[in-house]
Amino acid sequence: MLAFVTGAAGFLGSHLSDRLLRDGWSVVGVDNFATGDPRNLREANESDRFTFVEADVSEPWTGWTTRLDSAQRVPDVVLHLASPASPVHYERLALETLAVNGLGTMHAVTFAHEAGAKLLYASTSESYGDPLEHPQRETYWGNVNPIGIRSCYDESKRFGEAYVTTAVRKLGIDARIVRIFNTYGPRMQAGDGRVIPNFCVSALRGEALTVYGDGSQTRSFCYVDDLIDGIVRLATRPGLGGRVVNVGNPDEYTIRQLAEITARLAGVPLHTEDRPLPPDDPTRRRPDIALARELLDWQPAVPLEIGLARTLDFFRLTR
Ligand SMILES: NC(=O)c1ccc[n+]([C@@H]2O[C@H](COP(=O)([O-])OP(=O)(O)OC[C@H]3O[C@@H](n4cnc5c(N)ncnc54)[C@H](O)[C@@H]3O)[C@@H](O)[C@H]2O)c1
């Protein structure tokens, strides 16, 4: 079985590639290192079933796919994860983010259609924007500011969803959409602005943890191994064409609780520095995972304290 993984040098794409290789798949990983890191590919590169191509998937895929052997050009599944994912990166790469979720998704659809492959599109809980419904079910349409600072990400993911769903209807492709909620774990980047790496790095340096707003806003955090397991199930199970499924951990924590747990696990006293809440920052977000339980027999298995301890270990080693 052959899988194409776009965004393979990223946090999730690299874990996904490793998992597929461990399961016996051959994997073609593609990335332009816009936000990825070659070090994330160390484990994958040890496998002779892994092929890496450096390319921009917003450009036509005929350019880079012709560099592959003919047998490698016909995957069973295309997993389109390429996209900046943290606010720091997608605000810096705003036009590129719109391109990769727009043009990149269109190319992924064309390629999967021509190859007769399944397609999995990595969408996000940010499709729900600042939600007015809690927890968020897949049927909720969202509350998104189309011209706000986050719109390059939120709206391009929503366009990607619309394009993939329309291609299911018009072209008959077998495509699935995963709405990923906050995921954390080893290989996140220290400076990418997401709360868990921020807290881990600050705690390990003995610095104050930066809390935006009053810290009462909640998030749910899914450990990376759980998320990847949900993605693999959604991408490979038969009969799920056209389905849109939330994958995330519904356990809700306030940012202040997260700060307390991180400091405790790092073995340091808690010091926080309070800053104003950025614009369009959602105050609550939590997945309803009833559909994932029903369709995928999936639910998260790694508790926050275990996942955070593993993530702290990663940052201890890479500091
Ligand atoms: N990590 C999360 O909590 C989370 C939550 C919701 C959705 N997602 C989605 O999951 C996917 C992966 O996120 P991540 O956290 O691994 O982010 P990441 O930034 O670590 O990985 C994204 C990868 O895509 C690559 N990339 C970006 N544009 C590209 C292009 N035009 N051509 C080729 N490669 C390109 C980057 O270089 C990077 O390696 C993204 O689509 C993101 O929107 C992630």
Active site residues: 153
- Cβ atoms within 10 A of the Cβ of 132, count? 12
Tell me the CA–centroid distance for residue 7 and ligand 1, in Å: 6
83 lines ligand 1 (CB under 6 A): yes
Residues 6+ apart with CB under 8 A from 24: 1
Enter the tokens of residue 244.
């849109």
Enter the tokens of residue 285.
């977000």
Domain limits, the chain: 2-185+222-250+286-301, 195-217+252-284+309-318
Query: Measured on CA atoms in the order 239, 83, 314, 216, is the torsion positive or negative?
Result: negative
Tell me the whole-structure pTM to 2 decimals. 0.96
**How far from chain centre, in Å, is Cα 93?**
16
Is there a contact between 220 and 251 (Cβ–Cβ < 8 Å)? yes
pLDDT tens string for the chain (319 positions)? 999 999 999 999 999 999 999 999 999 999 999 999 999 999 999 999 999 999 999 999 998 999 899 989 999 999 999 999 999 999 999 999 999 999 999 999 999 999 999 999 999 999 999 899 999 999 999 999 999 999 999 999 999 999 999 999 999 999 999 999 999 999 999 988 889 999 999 999 999 999 988 898 888 999 999 999 999 999 999 999 999 999 999 999 999 999 999 999 999 999 999 998 876 666 678 899 999 999 999 999 999 999 999 999 999 998 5
Name the pairing type of β-strands 218-220 and 252-254.
Answer: antiparallel
The strand pairing partners of 143, in sequence order, are 129
- Cβ atoms within 10 A of the Cβ of 162, count? 11
Question: Which residue owns the Cα nearest ligand 1 atom 43?
Answer: 85
**How far from chain centre, in Å, is Cα 148?**
21
Ligand 1 atom at minimum distance from 194 CA: 3
pLDDT for position 278: 75
**Range 195-217+252-284+309-318 has CATH code 3.90.25.10:** yes
CATH pick for 2-185+222-250+286-301 out of 3.40.605.10, 3.30.70.100, 3.40.50.200, 3.40.50.720:
3.40.50.720
pLDDT for position 277: 83
Is there a contact between 184 and 224 (Cβ–Cβ < 8 Å)? yes
DSSP state of 277: P
31 lines ligand 1 (CB under 6 A): yes
pLDDT for position 57: 98
2 lines ligand 1 (CB under 6 A): no
Tell me the CA–centroid distance for residue 194 and ligand 1, in Å: 13
pLDDT for position 282: 67
**How far from chain centre, in Å, is Cα 68?**
26
Whole-number Å distance between alpha carbons of 81 and 83: 6
Whole-number Å distance between alpha carbons of 197 and 149: 22
DSSP state of 203: H
Residues 6+ apart with CB under 8 A from 305: 261, 265
104 lines ligand 1 (CB under 6 A): yes
